[in-house]
Amino acid sequence: MQRSKACLTILSLVLAINALVGYRVFCNEAEKTGADEVFQHIDTLMEVMQLIRKNYVDIDKVDYQELIRGAMEGMTNKLDPYSAFLPPKEFDSLMEDTEGEFGGIGVTISVKDGILTVVSPIAGTPGAKAGIISGDQIIKIDQEPLENVVIDKAVARLRGKPGTSVSLTIYRPATEETIDLTLERALIPLISVADATVLNGTRIGHVRITQFMEPTAGQLQKVLEDFVKKDVAAIIIDLRNNPGGLLDSAVDICSFFLPPGQLVVSVEGREQKKVERSREGGFKFPADKPVLLLINGGSASAAEITAGCLSDTGRAILLGEKTFGKGSVQNVVQLQDGSALKLTIAKYYTPSRRVIHEHGIEPDIEDKLRPQDIIAIIKHEGDMDKLLDIDKQLKRAVDVLNSYLAFDSGKGSNFKKLRSQAAPEQSATPATP
């Protein structure tokens, strides 16, 4: 009987592997490595599981399915913070990201240097209202210290039914302070394009992209078409605190500003390389109107792809702070039992071969904000008149564009080449934290 159960255990494990890579691939790898070595490890795994089943004190913790899932979690945890084995409930939670809304505190998180780190808060959510900012490190959830952080498990703990509470302990590197917060979860709407307006007293259009979703490109196109009708002279696209999203959305948006066939990003894995190029046809924003992108440490993934592409091609200038540095690709494969494997399979490269992952994208014009300034900006997002008074980066962007427009006077000069002349001398020193 014991041997039968052990055989079933191995069979289940092999079936899990088979669902991901195929039995033939598994066997080929076994031959390359040495079949004896591969199956020796499987035998050891079986032995460990049997010892646990036979001797572990809490019998309710030694279910075969849970032990196998624990083994698969251990395998993926050894790879990187973004790869993970997801049990059915956690996979369902991950899929909520595409549904438009979910219950939570409204912050996007990642793992940086082994620490759970806030990429960006979502405007108007409990996290933003509590003053959480990009770069904050979450060191405890519900008084439990975080060790060996798995990103999807952390997300699952932060999410929950609207109206329920979660406590956080946050360390803020910028000020070296530790902050304790208790937040009430809320329904988090996922808005993609916001704050589209022609700034008062200027001919400069402004639009904020909060994340890259399926409808984002279409929504942005309508905004850009409206700007063209209003004969704006330049535009600001705010990608600050944008955690990214869909690659296709980033490619579509870059296509608005580039000639057809221009390289947008390279996606390179172990054995294959895929390049994404700007789309043929469709809407094109006038090439003679300069574009400025606002970026910061909360700009990640698809936001970094967009910034890197438009900067490399000379179509936009970047102002703000270095981006987060999340430039890897995860593929999610659903398994037979409703669980899933999320696996890092590739990295992104900009047209000039800059590596995004763990490096980020540097701005052309650096302008840093203090934590208290960031908190004030988050609380006033949507009030563009107020932001023009308190958002130093936005004010700097307007100054740069106005300087360029006055300098150029219809000459059609290259915007990126003129950034040093366009930047006001009095604004050159970043703010001191």
Residue scoring higher pLDDT (420 or 213): 213
Question: Mean pLDDT across the stretch 286-308?
Answer: 95
Question: Looking at residue 426, what is its pLDDT?
Answer: 33
Residue 151 falls within a domain, yes or no? yes
Residue 175 falls within a domain, yes or no? yes
Question: Looking at residue 6, what is its pLDDT?
Answer: 40
Q: Assess contact for 321 and 365: CB atoms under 8 A.
A: no
Question: Mean pLDDT across the stretch 164-184?
Answer: 95
Residue scoring higher pLDDT (384 or 36): 384
Residues 301 and 364 in one domain: yes
Please give the mean pLDDT across all residues of the chain: 83
Give catalytic residues, as residue numbers.
301, 312, 326
Residues 152 and 217 in one domain: no
Report which listed range, 35-44, 74-83, 293-302, 422-431, is most confident: 293-302
Identify the CA nearest to 190 among candidates 93, 129, 104.
Answer: 104
Residues 237 and 308 in one domain: yes
Question: Looking at residue 63, what is its pLDDT?
Answer: 83
Q: What is the per-residue pLDDT across 129-146, written as a single tens digit (0 to 9) for each?
A: 999 999 999 999 999 998
Question: Looking at residue 410, what is its pLDDT?
Answer: 54
Residues 297 and 404 in one domain: yes
Query: Domain of 161?
Result: 92-189
Residue 294 falls within a domain, yes or no? yes
Question: Looking at residue 283, what is its pLDDT?
Answer: 95
Domain end position, chosen among 189, 219, 235? 189
HSE-up (13 A, CA, CB side) for residue 358 = 8
Residue 355 has pLDDT above 80, yes or no: yes
Question: Looking at residue 85, what is its pLDDT?
Answer: 86
Burial of 193 (0-12, 13-18, 19+ CB in 10 A): buried
Residue 83 falls within a domain, yes or no? no
Residues 169 and 204 in one domain: no
Residue 48 has pLDDT above 90, yes or no: no
What is the rounded CA–CA span in Å between residue 141 and residue 185?
A: 13
CATH of the domain at 266: 3.90.226.10
Residue 265 has pLDDT above 70, yes or no: yes
Residue 432 falls within a domain, yes or no? no
Residues 14 and 106 in one domain: no
Residues 268 and 322 in one domain: yes
Residue 92 has pLDDT above 80, yes or no: no
Residue 117 falls within a domain, yes or no? yes
Residue 235 has pLDDT above 80, yes or no: yes
Residue 433 falls within a domain, yes or no? no
Count of structural domains within the chain: 3
Residue 296 falls within a domain, yes or no? yes
Residue scoring higher pLDDT (23 or 89): 89
Residue 423 has pLDDT above 70, yes or no: no
Question: Looking at residue 140, what is its pLDDT?
Answer: 95
Take residue 293 and report the two structure tokens written for it: 């992108």
Residues 133 and 233 in one domain: no
What is the rounded CA–CA span in Å between residue 128 and residue 141?
A: 17
CATH of the domain at 172: 2.30.42.10
Domain end position, chosen among 189, 210, 243? 189
Take residue 289 and report the two structure tokens written for it: 């109107």
Question: Looking at residue 79, what is its pLDDT?
Answer: 86
* pLDDT grade for 76, boundaries at 50, 70 and 90: confident
Residues 247 and 166 in one domain: no
Domain end position, chosen among 161, 189, 217? 189
Residues 180 and 199 in one domain: no
Count Cβ atoms below 10 Å from residue 362 Cβ, excluding itself. Answer: 15
